[in-house]
Amino acid sequence: MRLIKGILILVFFFLTPVFSVKNASASEGLIELSSTTGQNLRCFASSLLMQDGNYVIPITCRNLVYPVEEGIFSYFVWATPLGGGSPVRLGELGFGRAEYKIRTAFSSLFVSVEQNKKTRTPSGTIVMRGNVAPIIFLETSPTPSPEGLVVEEPTPTPKPSLRTKVSTAVKRAGIAVLLAVVAVMGLVFVLTRPK
C-alpha cells in the first residue's frame, strides 16, 4: 500500500507542471504612445510576430526635444512583459525612429528619459506610454465590393516555438509515464491479491 501511495505522489508531482503550462498570447498589434507629461510628444509603433519567434517593432516619433533636460540626451523604449516582471529594454530611441526585436510577449511600451545610456532598468521619468491594440483591419471579415468579391488568402501559420515543442514533448512524456504507472499498479494489484 505504501508503494502505491509513493507512486501516486510521484505521478502527481510529475504531471502537475505538465498540465499547468500556459501559452502566452500574441503581442501583435499597433501601439500609440502618448505623452504622460503634458507635452506634445507622441510615437507610433507596430508589433509583428515573425517566423523566427521574435516580435519586430518599428517605431516613429514626433516632437522629441533634445536635450531632454540639462545633461540628459537619451530616450529609451521599454516593453512591459505580458506575464509580469521587470520591463525589457528595447533600446535607445535616437532621433525618433528605430526598429527593435524582442522574443518576450508584451502588453505595452513606454519611453523613459535616461542619463545613463547603459541602464538595464528604467530609472528616469516616463514621458510616453501606450498599450498594444489589435489590428482591426486583420480582425474583421472583408465585405464584397461592388466590383466583385474579395478573396481572402490564407494566413501562414508561424512555426511552433522551441518552448511549445518542449511543452508538447513533456506533456506526451507525462501521459506515457501515467499509463506506465497505471499498468504497474494493475500488475502489482494482480500479483499481490490473495488466492
Residue 180: all three cell numbers together: 506506465
Domain regions of the chain by residue span: 2-23+157-192, 29-134
Do residues 102 and 88 touch, judged by C-beta distance below 8 A? Answer: yes
38-77 pLDDT, tens digit each: 889 999 999 999 999 999 999 999 988 887 777 787 899 9
CB atoms within 10 A of CB 102: 19
CATH architecture of 29-134: Sandwich (2.60)
Task: Report pTM.
Answer: 0.59
